[in-house]
């Protein structure tokens, strides 16, 4: 405080507004503001003067003119809202008819219940027959999702949006959560866990924190295990849901087997379906699966008998068993042994022609599609797709620019901090999906996790818009008016698109763009939070 009757001076007020005071001095200032009306009036006046000064300088120093920073009136943005919600409605309709409904029908045919629909989506997404059109759909959905993002950016409607988010999260949770079951028995490994032979667990069994888990007894319910090494020799009447390094199933399972591991070995009878995401999968000749098998693996050796469909995304696949229905395979190489018996149709997409032994029995000739490595630059369709992708990103960026010009300009401005932005981008690129997945595992956080993943995908898509505008600004320079901002956006996106299709280095350009743009978004949100803190504290007092 200064000597003027205990009030602080203008310099102290400015430092407090910019959050530049040390902790003790800031606390002292906040306490003084709580009971001093004169100093609160001074603080408000200085904040208004700072805003006026920034607005007067924005036309020359910021990529977006200050006059665009004001929130447009209702009549000015009415057509934007109509377009945004129209895109959102069209995207939702396309999403349901093009993805969700076919996936759900496929899940029912494969014997998956509604409670396991998330697992089905995770393991069968790579094998969906309409996957080739997914890229164009995602471009359209990026623009469609803009309606949600635009609502979120309008701070005056934040409370209503929060309520809507909770309602939507609850609806999502109701759709995907399985029916309530009896309380499970939870066991902790110290450091290992063993269910001895002859012992029975009459409910679901959950094993966590074990380095090695061995189940020799009977589980009258589901078996859920998080362990380094997992061996199941006993009888499981429900499903097996397991996460580990090595998983071996030697005992009968009446339900499904759904695992994520490094090595999976199946040597018994599985009553329903098998879904596995693993480095290596081995199915013994004596193994039998009553339903379908869905694999995502580095390599797979399939013996035994599968009564249903077989869907696989893998490196190398060897089939030397019997398949009761169709096989859809996307792999580097496919080998069909002499004891193989495939009753249905077989579709194979790979790098090399399939190797078929003389004694193999096939219900029909294999429909083979040989994929070339990398994009085909000789095809005009490739450049048409690139043009469409540029148009989708430009439309997305244009709507963001029109609806939230201040936010758009702040993100582009934060892109000038290249090294900090890339550093934060590395952190958030990894941390957000991990946190969202952990949230989805918990019952309470499922809706929040799904919403976080959707917003994360939108943020990743938007990185090209902000980085492209930054590139256009550096090449064309600062300008005034909405036309110059649109021109910088269009030019930057063209340059980014050209760099990303370059052989050998295109993937590196895309990675840097994602990290850079994601970090700039994080810096912008951090700056917005810091600017709000002093006045929120003042209002609270």
Q: Mind listing the pLDDT tens digit for each residue in 502-532?
A: 888 888 999 999 999 999 998 988 888 776 6
Structural domains counted in the chain: 4
Pairing of the two strands 310-319 and 293-302 = parallel
Distances (CA, A) of 189 to 31, 61, 242, 525, 535: 52, 61, 15, 42, 51
- Residue 413 bridge partners (DSSP): none
Question: Residues 500, 506: contact at Cβ < 8 Å?
Answer: yes
* Continuous H helices in 111-251: 117-124, 134-144, 146-153, 158-176
Residue 69 within any structural domain of the chain: no
Of residues 450 and 77, more confidently modeled: 450
Of residues 188 and 337, more confidently modeled: 337
Share of the chain above pLDDT 90, in %: 27
| Residues 263 and 171 placed together within one structural domain of the fold | no
Of residues 50 and 222, more confidently modeled: 222
The kind and range of the H/E element at 538 are helix 506-540
Of residues 307 and 143, more confidently modeled: 307
Of residues 292 and 37, more confidently modeled: 292
Residue 1 within any structural domain of the chain: no
Region 414-439: what's the mean pLDDT? 85
- Residue 310 bridge partners (DSSP): 293, 327
pLDDT at 100 over 60: no
Question: Residues 234, 215: contact at Cβ < 8 Å?
Answer: yes
Give me the pLDDT at residue 283, please: 92
Give me the pLDDT at residue 216, please: 94
Question: Residues 469, 397: contact at Cβ < 8 Å?
Answer: yes
Which residue is listed with tokens 């001076």?
9
Residue 22 within any structural domain of the chain: yes
Of residues 1 and 271, more confidently modeled: 271
pLDDT at 91 over 90: no
Residue 490 within any structural domain of the chain: yes
pLDDT at 59 over 50: no
Region 133-138: what's the mean pLDDT? 47
Nearest to 272 by CA among 316, 236, 318: 236
| Residues 343 and 394 placed together within one structural domain of the fold | no
| Residues 104 and 202 placed together within one structural domain of the fold | no
Residues in contact with 415: Cβ distance below 8 Å, sequence separation at least 6, in sequence order: 421, 466, 467, 470, 516, 517, 520
pLDDT bin (cut points 50, 70, 90) of residue 131 is very low
Residue 306 within any structural domain of the chain: yes
CA distance 104 to 169: 20
pLDDT bin (cut points 50, 70, 90) of residue 85 is low
Region 135-159: what's the mean pLDDT? 48
CA distance 326 to 303: 16
Of residues 310 and 133, more confidently modeled: 310
CA distance 515 to 521: 10
| Angle, alpha carbons 305-311-313 (nearest 5°) | 125
Give me the pLDDT at residue 33, please: 78
pLDDT at 428 over 50: yes
Nearest to 315 by CA among 276, 344, 278: 278
Average pLDDT, the chain: 76
pLDDT bin (cut points 50, 70, 90) of residue 467 is very high
pLDDT bin (cut points 50, 70, 90) of residue 306 is very high
| Residues 170 and 247 placed together within one structural domain of the fold | no
Give me the pLDDT at residue 455, please: 87
| Residues 223 and 90 placed together within one structural domain of the fold | no
| Residues 485 and 520 placed together within one structural domain of the fold | yes
Distances (CA, A) of 19 to 14, 30, 154, 395, 530: 9, 12, 24, 37, 7
pLDDT at 142 over 50: no
Question: Residues 341, 323: contact at Cβ < 8 Å?
Answer: yes
| Residues 203 and 169 placed together within one structural domain of the fold | no
| Residues 392 and 507 placed together within one structural domain of the fold | yes
Residue 501 within any structural domain of the chain: yes
pLDDT at 87 over 60: no
Domain final residue, candidates 339, 370, 401: 370
Of residues 375 and 231, more confidently modeled: 231
Residue 67 within any structural domain of the chain: no
CA distance 28 to 34: 10
| Residues 438 and 387 placed together within one structural domain of the fold | yes
Domain final residue, candidates 176, 210, 229: 176
Quick one: how far is CA 184 from the chain centroid?
30
Quick one: how far is CA 532 from the chain centroid?
29
pLDDT at 366 over 80: yes
Residue 4 within any structural domain of the chain: no
pLDDT at 53 over 80: no
Interval 265-303: pLDDT, tens: 999 999 999 999 888 999 998 999 999 999 988 889 999
The one-character DSSP state at 343 is: -
Give me the pLDDT at residue 332, please: 86
| Residues 138 and 273 placed together within one structural domain of the fold | no
Quote the pTM value. Answer: 0.48
Most confident of 44-53, 60-69, 168-177, 403-412: 403-412
Domain final residue, candidates 370, 396, 427: 370
| Residues 198 and 315 placed together within one structural domain of the fold | yes
pLDDT at 326 over 80: yes
3 state SS of 338: coil
| Residues 456 and 327 placed together within one structural domain of the fold | no
Question: Residue 339 belongs to what domain range?
Answer: 185-370
């Amino acid at each position: 405080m200064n000597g003027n009757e205990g009030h602080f001076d203008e310099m102290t007020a400015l430092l407090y507004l910019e959050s530049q005071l040390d902790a003790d001095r800031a606390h002292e200032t906040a306490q003084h503001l709580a009971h001093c009306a004169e100093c609160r009036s001074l603080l408000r006046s200085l904040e208004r003067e700072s805003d006026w000064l920034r607005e007067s300088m924005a036309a020359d120093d910021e990529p977006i003119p200050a006059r665009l920073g004001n929130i447009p009136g209702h009549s000015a943005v009415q057509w934007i809202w109509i377009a945004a919600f129209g895109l959102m409605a069209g995207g939702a309709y396309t999403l349901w008819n093009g993805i969700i409904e076919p996936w759900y029908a496929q899940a029912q045919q494969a014997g998956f219940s509604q409670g396991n629909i998330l697992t089905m989506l995770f393991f069968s997404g790579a094998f969906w027959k309409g996957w080739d059109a997914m890229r164009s759909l995602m471009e359209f959905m990026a623009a469609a999702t803009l309606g949600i993002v635009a609502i979120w950016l309008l701070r005056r409607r934040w409370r209503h949006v929060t309520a809507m988010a909770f309602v939507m999260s609850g609806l999502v949770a109701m759709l995907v959560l399985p029916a309530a079951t009896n309380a499970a028995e939870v066991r902790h490994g110290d450091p290992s866990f063993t269910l001895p032979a002859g012992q029975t667990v009459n409910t679901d069994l959950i094993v966590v924190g074990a380095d090695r888990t061995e189940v020799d007894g009977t589980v009258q319910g589901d078996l859920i295990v998080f362990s380094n090494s997992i061996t199941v020799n006993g009888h499981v009447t429900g499903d097996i849901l397991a996460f580990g390094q090595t998983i071996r199933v030697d005992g009968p399972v009446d339900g499904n087997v759904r695992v994520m591991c490094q090595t999976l070995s199946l040597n018994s009878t599985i009553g329903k379906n098998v879904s596995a995401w693993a480095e290596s999968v081995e199915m013994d000749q004596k193994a039998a699966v009553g339903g379908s098998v869905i694999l995502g693996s580095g390599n797979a050796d399939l013996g035994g008998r599968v009564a249903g469909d077989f869907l696989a995304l893998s490196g190398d696949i060897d089939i030397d068993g019997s398949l009761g229905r169709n096989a859809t395979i996307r792999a580097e190489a496919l080998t069909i042994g002499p004891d193989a018996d495939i009753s249905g149709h077989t579709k194979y997409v790979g790098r090399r022609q399939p190797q078929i032994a003389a004694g193999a029995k096939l219900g029909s000739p294999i429909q083979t599609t040989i994929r070339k490595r990398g994009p085909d630059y000789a095809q005009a369709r490739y450049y048409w797709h690139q043009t469409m992708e540029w148009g989708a990103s430009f439309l997305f960026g244009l709507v963001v620019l029109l609806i939230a010009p201040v936010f758009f300009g702040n993100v582009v401005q934060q892109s000038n901090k290249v090294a900090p932005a890339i550093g934060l981008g590395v952190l958030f690129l990894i941390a957000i999906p991990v946190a969202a997945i952990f949230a989805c595992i918990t019952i309470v956080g499922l809706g929040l996790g799904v919403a976080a993943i959707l917003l994360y995908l939108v943020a990743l898509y938007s990185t090209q818009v902000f980085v492209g505008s930054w590139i256009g600004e550096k090449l064309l320079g600062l300008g005034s008016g909405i036309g110059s901002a649109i021109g910088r956006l269009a030019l930057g996106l063209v340059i980014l698109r050209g760099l990303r299709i370059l052989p050998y280095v295109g993937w590196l350009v895309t990675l840097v763009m994602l990290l850079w743009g994601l970090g700039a978004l994080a810096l912008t949100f951090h700056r917005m939070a810091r600017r709000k803190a002093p006045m929120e504290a003042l209002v609270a007092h």
